[in-house]
Amino acid sequence: MKNKRNLGVGIVLVVALAALFTGSIYAGYKMVTYFNKDVDDQFREVGQLVEDKAKDYCGIDLSKVKETFEGPPYVYKKQGTRNYDGPRIYESYGYIYNDQGKVLTDFYEKDGYGLYISFNADRSEAVFNINGKCYCINGDLEYTLVSDECSDSCINYEGGYIAYNSGAELRLYEVKTGEETVLARSGFNPCISPNGQTVSYYSFSGTNALVYVGGINVKTHAVSSSSSGYYTPTAVSDDGKVVYYELSNDKTRDGFYCSDDGVEKKIASGYLRGAQFTRDCKQAFVSTSKNISYFRPGMAKAENLSIFGMLRDLEFFGVSAGVNRQMVFEPIYILDTDCFSDVSMVTTGEKTYCLQGDAIPSEVLLRNEGANSHETFTSDGPVSVYLTEGEAKKVRILDGKAVREDFFTWENGKIKQIFTSDDFSECVFIAMEKNEKNDDIYNLYYYHEGKKPVFIAETTYSANTMVKWDQCTEKWYYISQNTLYCADRRFKEKTVVCDSCDHFDFRNYGDQAMVFADTDGKLHVLINDMILDLE
């Protein structure tokens, strides 16, 4: 017995020493290559020599070997059923604008954080509150006063109906005719069904707060009650049988819930950080301060995904989305989909997860390294582009697995930042290179997939972003030598926007129009090539 014990101890010591030896070699390699570029270059030359010999003598192309991460197979499907092609409404910092170049400044307020606004799926209609008043606006930015005494409002996913309170009274407003229907004598925090006929809200009965559901064809009834908390309804189905809501300030029950055909089910604990719902408002993909969860009617309990990290953002791509409610941290979205796996991802800063599965989606680690990442969905499914050690990488799903490969290579220096367009067919990057005096310089390049990168301009590199892609106008904006330029998608034409620009600012409210600081430090917002005040 003693000999076996000694043998076990010996094995453990050998393994520990081997690990220590290997770790020391690796640490030494990283240190010497970090401080001595010549040694780093020699290591790379040896690696390239091995790669060349493998190709010449064995027919193995090591440059094509791809690193993979395991994941269950899933066939990604294109989602989206909308065919609207008219003007679309956006809002940033209190400025309302459309994608046809028009900007409305009537509701801008200095030092404001933007409007409490919600949009239908096509962004052809929106409703917003300001200074106790409620307005409805269309894609041409023509607005109508709905109520001069209102604190809460929302518009339905399909458009055409607005739920709002006038004083304490809860009403349903038809956009086309202006007709109103009183739904309740007292109702707050309304959310409206996709077809605009059913509303969920909270009110009081004595000292208790309750969540109610009612509408044109749904008899008003309560689905939840709390003696100490308050509710924020977030989504309701057309038939009123599925209602999602958050309960706060109830010490024993705080969390996010679903009333599933009259049965209350707790989906997640903690406060709500973001939520996505399918177009029928029945399936939910929810992020709280505790976890990320998926739920659909009929499930005994929610499925908690194994995604952790301080920053957990729900992202969606390639589909229209109605903004059902504006929340403190991010809006509540209704997506034009019946399957989150085909449109949604989760980013945590250092990692990116995609989803796979129809009935109950499971998380799959798409990216687990690098920084400066960008995500989207292509015909291959989810794709992430990012930087690691000065190189641009791309990871995508292939045959059910996450496959990593070079996005493009740049031999003249190290890539410091990368910026992608909407479909990843092109990008702009900042490269650190050497000038004639062997000093570090930073140059801006445009890259189109399959072609050689093209030099754009000299720039600088810092924590402040120097390049932006504007989804609304489909243009590039970049800063070079304190001048802000605008360029078309392929950099065929460029114009000067501002000749005293220092950097883009990180702050984002609403639809994230570009904010930049001038050389005096004053902030401005850039919307449809118009420079507007922000301070």
Q: Between the ranges 75-84, 274-283, 307-316, where is the mean pLDDT highest?
A: 274-283
Give the CATH number, domain containing residue 234: 2.130.10.10
Q: Are residues 123 and 245 in the same domain?
A: yes
- How confident is the model over 239-251, as pLDDT tens digits? 999 999 999 998 8
Give dist(CA 462, CA 441) in Å, integer.
12
Q: Are residues 44 and 101 in the same domain?
A: no
Determine which of 42-51, 139-148, 193-202 has the lowest per-residue pLDDT on average: 42-51
Region 400-426: mean pLDDT is 87
Q: Are residues 99 and 229 in the same domain?
A: yes
Q: Is residue 205 part of a domain?
A: yes
Q: Are residues 97 and 241 in the same domain?
A: yes
- Beta strands 292-295 and 116-119 are unpaired
- How confident is the model over 328-347, as pLDDT tens digits? 556 899 999 999 999 999 99
Cβ contacts of residue 433 below 8 Å, gap of 6+?
412, 413, 440, 441, 442, 443
Give dist(CA 79, CA 76) in Å, integer.
9
Question: Using 50, 70 and 90 to split pLDDT, how confident is the model at 379?
Answer: confident
Query: What average pLDDT does the structure give for the chain?
Result: 84
Give dist(CA 169, CA 184) in Å, integer.
6
Question: Using 50, 70 and 90 to split pLDDT, how confident is the model at 87?
Answer: very high
Q: Is residue 308 part of a domain?
A: no
Give, to the nearest 10 degrees, the angle between helix 37-58 and helix 2-35: 110
Note the pLDDT of residue 110. Answer: 78
Q: Are residues 106 and 56 in the same domain?
A: no
pLDDT surpassing 90 at residue 308: no
Q: Is residue 295 part of a domain?
A: no
The amino acid sitting at 212 is: Y
Percent of the chain with pLDDT over 90: 61
| Cα 252 to Cα 177, 247, 304, 314, distances in angstroms | 45, 10, 20, 27
pLDDT surpassing 90 at residue 7: no
Q: Which two tokens stand for residue 321?
A: 């989305």
Note the pLDDT of residue 449. Answer: 83
Q: Is residue 310 part of a domain?
A: no
pLDDT surpassing 80 at residue 325: no
Which of 65, 100, 120 finishes a domain? 65
Region 76-101: mean pLDDT is 93
Q: 5: part of which helix (H) or strand (E)?
A: helix 2-35
Q: Which two tokens stand for residue 42?
A: 């020699």
pLDDT surpassing 70 at residue 350: yes
Please say whether the beta carbons of 84 and 99 come within 8 A. no
The amino acid sitting at 80 is: G
pLDDT surpassing 50 at residue 125: yes
Question: Using 50, 70 and 90 to split pLDDT, how confident is the model at 356?
Answer: confident
Q: Are residues 39 and 179 in the same domain?
A: no
Q: Is residue 32 part of a domain?
A: yes
Note the pLDDT of residue 425. Answer: 84
Give dist(CA 438, CA 450) in Å, integer.
30
Cβ contacts of residue 124 below 8 Å, gap of 6+?
84, 86, 87, 88, 89, 138, 139, 159
Cβ contacts of residue 10 below 8 Å, gap of 6+?
none
Note the pLDDT of residue 45. Answer: 40
Side by side, which strands form the sheet with 255-260?
230-236, 242-248, 255-260, 263-268
Q: Are residues 48 and 116 in the same domain?
A: no
Q: Are residues 122 and 263 in the same domain?
A: yes
Note the pLDDT of residue 422. Answer: 81
SS3 label, residue 14: helix
Note the pLDDT of residue 150. Answer: 94
Count of domains observed in the chain:
3
Q: Is residue 47 part of a domain?
A: yes
Region 214-223: mean pLDDT is 95
Which of 248, 270, 292 finishes a domain? 270
Q: Are residues 114 and 29 in the same domain?
A: no
Note the pLDDT of residue 202. Answer: 94
Q: Are residues 151 and 209 in the same domain?
A: yes
Region 415-432: mean pLDDT is 90
Give dist(CA 74, CA 341) in Å, integer.
9
Which of 251, 270, 289 finishes a domain? 270
Give dist(CA 512, CA 507) in Å, integer.
8
Which comes out higher in pLDDT, residue 164 or 66? 164
Count Cα neighbours of 321 within 13 Å in the Cβ-side half-sphere: 21
Note the pLDDT of residue 528. Answer: 87
Cβ count near 449 (within 10 Å)? 11
Question: Using 50, 70 and 90 to split pLDDT, how confident is the model at 529?
Answer: confident
pLDDT surpassing 90 at residue 181: yes
Note the pLDDT of residue 172. Answer: 97
Cβ contacts of residue 3 below 8 Å, gap of 6+?
none
Note the pLDDT of residue 330. Answer: 67
pLDDT surpassing 70 at residue 161: yes
Q: Are residues 431 and 527 in the same domain?
A: yes
Q: Is residue 519 part of a domain?
A: yes
Q: Is residue 336 part of a domain?
A: no
Note the pLDDT of residue 352. Answer: 93
Which comes out higher in pLDDT, residue 112 or 46? 112
Question: Using 50, 70 and 90 to split pLDDT, how confident is the model at 424?
Answer: confident
Q: What is the 3-state secondary structure (H, E, C) of 169-237?
A: EEEEEECCCCCEEEEECCCEEEEECCCCCEEEEEEEECCEEEEEEEECCCCCEEEEEECCCEEEEEEEC
Domain limits for position 37 = 2-65
Tokens 């065919």 belong to: 83
Q: Are residues 59 and 129 in the same domain?
A: no
Note the pLDDT of residue 324. Answer: 82
Note the pLDDT of residue 473. Answer: 85
Q: Which two tokens stand for residue 36?
A: 């001595």
pLDDT surpassing 60 at residue 22: no
Determine which of 8-22, 397-411, 423-437 has the lowest per-residue pLDDT on average: 8-22
Region 191-219: mean pLDDT is 96
Note the pLDDT of residue 74. Answer: 83
